[in-house]
Amino acid sequence: MASLLEMKEIFRNADAVCFDVDSTVIREEGIDELAKFCGVGDAVAEMTRRAMGGTVTFKAALTARLGLIRPSYEQVQKLISDNPPQLTPGIRELVSRLHQRGVQVFLISGGFQSIVEHVASQLNIPAANVFANRLKFYFNGEYAGFDETQPTAESGGKGKVIAHLKEQFQFKKVVMIGDGATDMEACPPADCFIGFGGNVIRKQVKEKAKWYITHFDELLKELEER
């Protein structure tokens, strides 16, 4: 296992940095915001807590939550326009600095493609660097399920995405940053995991992550060390 010093070295020399989105890049949990918007907020928030704690499989939790919400295409679009996701302080500067250094930045999320792509556009991250779940709709816009073939729909899916990126781009050093159990389990194949507690602190992640931060300024300072 890498020491904290070695992890910092990996981060400073990373080929790619992968971020979780909900409660990491943005302040809220996208699925909870969608649930509130659709009038089933409390029931879904409880399911999210269980999923993030790692006590149920991610796919089971996602299926159950979406079964309660049943969001229409129109509701998803209206959520994005009326209540756009709030970026976490410092993320814009950090992503910009990583881009300046020639580091590839990816968003890997158990959230929804349409919402995550909106976040990516604000951070100048290309849509091709977004890996998230895709909602499906009938021709009349009603909810028709989600694409279960996406790796991010499964527990362990984020690790599969990182393994795919390493193979496709021959990345030697990949860093994963996130707040939840599904982010921590992506290392390995990620070479370093940085736990993030700036929006919500997950006890399991705080206890187990060797490198745990509460503000992205800590990572910006790390990059200035070099």
Q: What is the pLDDT of residues 27-79, one digit of tens each?
A: 888 888 889 898 888 888 777 666 656 567 778 888 888 988 999 999 999 99
Tens digit of pLDDT for each residue in 115-149? 899 999 999 999 999 999 999 999 999 999 899 88
Residue, of 1 and 132, whose pLDDT is higher: 132
Q: Which contiguous run of DSSP H or E holds residue 18?
A: strand 16-19
Helices 41-52, 30-37: inter-axial angle, 10-degree rounding: 160
Amino acid identity, position 5: L
- Residue pair 164/186 in contact (Cβ under 8 Å)? The answer is no
Answer whether residue 180 shows pLDDT above 70: yes
Tell me the whole-structure pTM to 2 decimals: 0.87
> Is the model's pLDDT at 226 over the cut of 80?
no
Query: Which tens digit of pLDDT belongs to each residue from 183-204?
Result: 888 888 989 888 888 887 787 7
- Are 116 and 152 within 8 A, CB to CB? no
Known catalytic residues are: 20, 22
The Cα–Cα gap between 125 and 117 comes to 9
Q: What is the residue whose two structure tokens read 């370093």?
A: 192
Of the pLDDT bands very low, low, confident and very high (cuts 50, 70, 90), residue 2 is low
